[in-house]
Each structure stands twice: as structure tokens, then as C-alpha cells.
Amino acid sequence: MNERFKGKVALVTGGGHGIGAAIVDRLAAEGAAVLVCDIRREHAEAKAQAIAGRGGTAVGCAADVRVRSDVEGVVARAASALGRLDVLVNAAGIMDRAPFLEMDDELWRRVIDTNLYGTFTVCQVAARQMIAEKHPGAIVNIASGSGLLGGRGRAAYGASKAGVINLTQTMAIELAEFSIRVNAIAPGPVKTRPEQGAAIGPSVAARMPMKRFGRPEEIAAMAAFLASDEASFSTGHTFAADGGFTITGILEG
């Protein structure tokens, strides 16, 4: 594997598990020093130790992305412990579901605060740090196909991810003058937990040409590309990694 991120520092939120952990692995394998941030300290530190055990550089830390002071502490630690901040990947997020007519305020606020406000806060604090350091930067936000299409039980989740997509576009416009690129990834169904089973659901399979779960490593590969200089002329876009789910129209022919 090449070293596209040699000499660079990356911060990954939600980096202790699932897609975020795969992104940590990929960036570290390509030479980045990684600050692994997760709401559960033990997960963040375990992932950082695993990276160090493979000869990489990583630091684990705990933070709740809904709390600005936590976020400010994490970004400050990236600069102090690892020397700078070049790449941010926002993978922290939750998907609590409930029917629209039964969804309560607590669930709505928890999802919106984590997925949308959390992304906003981390992006803002990290972008300010990148600007202060006076060097180019790259931000990758993990959105979702649910931010592009409606889905049963996903009123809060879909709204939060649609917000992330629009936030990505707005940030790309405003941060371009500082040489900071901002893109998003919209994953489709990705297998991150054993209880998801071996096969995707029938309603998804009916309109997904590839008819399988994605792997966290596949999302990580796209995140690494978007964060790298190879994507130097791409900003403000949302790139689907969904087996064709969001582009499928009529399948009969």
C-alpha cells in the first residue's frame, strides 16, 4: 500500500468501531498519524494500540461530538500530540429508528444532535485549526443514502444525513479560499454488526444491482481517496458507495 498520507495527521471521529475503525486502519496503513476519537474511550484506545502494534502512529481519546468543549479538546490534542491537523473524517453517528407518528423529541434530538450538530461542531473547530496552521486540508463527512432518499422509520436519521450533505456543500464553498476541500460519502447498507445477518433485506435487494452488503473497508478506501491529493479538484460532492442502490430505476427490460 502506498504512503499518500506520510507526514500528515488525521482525526477520525467514531474511530473506535465500524466504518470509522476501518477508516483509521486505512489512513494509518497509508502513513498517517491518526487521532482516534470515540465516545467510548476503551474503543478508541484499543484501536490506537492496535495501530501502534503494527508500527503506525495513533493516539486514542474520548469525546462526545455533541459537546463543543470535548471537540475543542480533541482538536487541540491532535495539534499538541501529533503536531498538526491535515485530515478530518467525521464517522461518528447513530441510527435510532422509530415510525414518524411515534417518534418522540428525545430520539429526534439525540440523532440530530449527534449526526448533524456533531458534524458541524467538529468541522468548524477543525477547520479553524487548519486555517490557523496555514496549510491545505481535507474533510470527509460520512453521510448516508438515507440523506438522499426517504426510508421508513428514518425521519430523524434521514433528516440528519440530508443536513450533512447540504452542510458539506456549504462548507466546500466557504472553505475553498483556505485550500480546505470538503466532501461526503453516502454509504448504502454496510455490514458492521453480526446481527445484521448474511443477506440484505428484500426491499433493498430489489433495487440494488450488486445485491450485497458493503464492507467497512470499501467505505474506508473511498474516504482515503477523497482525503488524499488524488482528489485535489473535488470538493462539495457526495459520493455514493451503495452497490448502485440510489441510481436504480426500472430493472426490467
Cell numbers for 100, please give them: 414518524
Delimit the domains of the chain by residue range: 9-242
Cell numbers for 175, please give them: 472553505
CATH, domain 9-242, list 3.20.20.80, 3.40.50.300, 3.40.50.2300, 3.40.50.720: 3.40.50.720
Amino acid 204: pLDDT: 85
Parts of the chain with a pLDDT under 70: 1, 253
Burial category of 54 from C-beta neighbours within 10 Å (exposed 0-12, middle 13-18, buried 19 and up): exposed
In angstroms, the CA 93 to CA 35 distance is 17
Total length of the chain: 253
Q: Which residues does 130 contact at the CB level (< 8 Å), separation at least 6?
A: 85, 86, 136, 137, 178, 180
In the chain, helix, strand, coil percent, each to 5?
Answer: 50, 15, 35
Strand partners, 59: 35
Cell numbers for 167, please give them: 452542510
Amino acid 75: pLDDT: 97
Which residues are identified as catalytic?
Answer: 157
Could you tell me which of 140, 152, 147 has the C-alpha nearest to residue 166? 147
Phi, psi of 239 (to 5 degrees): -105, 120
Amino acid 31: pLDDT: 97
Could you tell me which of 177, 186, 115, 175 has the C-alpha nearest to residue 149? 186
Q: Are 91 and 38 in contact (CB under 8 A)?
A: no
Cell numbers for 118, please give them: 456533531
**pLDDT tens for residues 85-121?**
999 999 999 999 999 999 999 999 999 999 999 999 9
Does the pTM exceed 0.85? yes
Amino acid 61: pLDDT: 97
- Considering the chain, what is the average pLDDT of its residues? 95
